[in-house]
Amino acid sequence: MGTITDWLTLVAILIGAGAIAWLAWETRRSVQVAAAATRTATSALELARAEQDYSRQLVAESIKTRIDAQAPRITVVPHEQLRVVSEIELPVRFPRDDAKPVYVAVAFSVHNDSGITVVLHRRAVPGVGAGGSDHEATIVKPGQRTLITAQVARPLAEWRAIADRPTDEEDAAEFRRRHGIEPDTRIVFGCATAADDGAVDEYAFRLVGSPLRPEPGEGGGYHCFPPDQTVDDRLRLVADPRRRTYYLSRSRGIELPTLGPA
Q: If DSSP states are collapsed to H, E and C, what string results for 4-49?
A: HHHHHHHHHHHHHHHHHHHHHHHHHHHHHHHHHHHHHHHHHHHHHH
The per-residue pLDDT for 110 is: 92
Distance, CA of 193 to CA of 201 (rounded, Å): 9
- CB-CB contact of 62 with 84 (8 Å): no
- H or E segment at 100? none
DSSP of 195-253, one letter per residue? STT-EEEEEEEEEEE-SEEEPSSSS--EEEPPTTSEE-TTEEEEEPPPEEEEEEETTTT
Q: 138 and 148 in contact (C-beta within 8 Å)? A: yes
Maximum distance among all alpha carbons in the chain?
127
* AA identity, residue 247: Y
pTM of the model: 0.64
Q: What CA–CA distance (Å, rounded) separates 261 from 180?
A: 36
Q: Please name the residues in contact with 102: beta carbons below 8 A apart, sequence gap of 6 or more.
A: 84, 86, 88, 153, 154, 155, 156, 159, 211, 224
Among the listed residues 69, 61, 191, 169, the one whose alpha carbon sits nearest the alpha carbon of residue 121: 191
Q: How many residues does the chain have?
A: 262
CA–CA–CA angle 129, 133, 108 (5° rounding): 100
Alpha-carbon distance of 236 to 138, in angstroms, equals 24
Distance CA 1, CA 221 (A): 122
Gap between the Cα atoms of 141 and 253, Å rounded: 27
Query: Residue 207: which of 72, 96, 102 has the closest Cα?
Result: 102
Q: What is the pLDDT of residue 124?
A: 75
pLDDT in tens, the chain (262 residues): 457 776 666 556 666 666 666 666 667 766 666 666 666 656 666 665 666 666 777 877 888 888 888 888 889 998 888 888 877 776 777 777 778 888 888 889 999 998 888 888 888 776 544 444 456 788 899 999 999 888 888 888 888 887 776 555 456 666 666 656 655 667 788 888 778 888 888 888 888 888 888 777 666 677 788 777 778 777 888 888 888 889 888 888 888 877 554 4
pLDDT for position 230? 79
Backbone angles phi, psi at 227, to 5 degrees: -55, 140
Q: Count other C-beta atoms under 10 Å from residue 195's C-beta.
A: 14
Count other C-beta atoms under 10 Å from residue 226's C-beta: 13
How much is the pLDDT for 186? 74
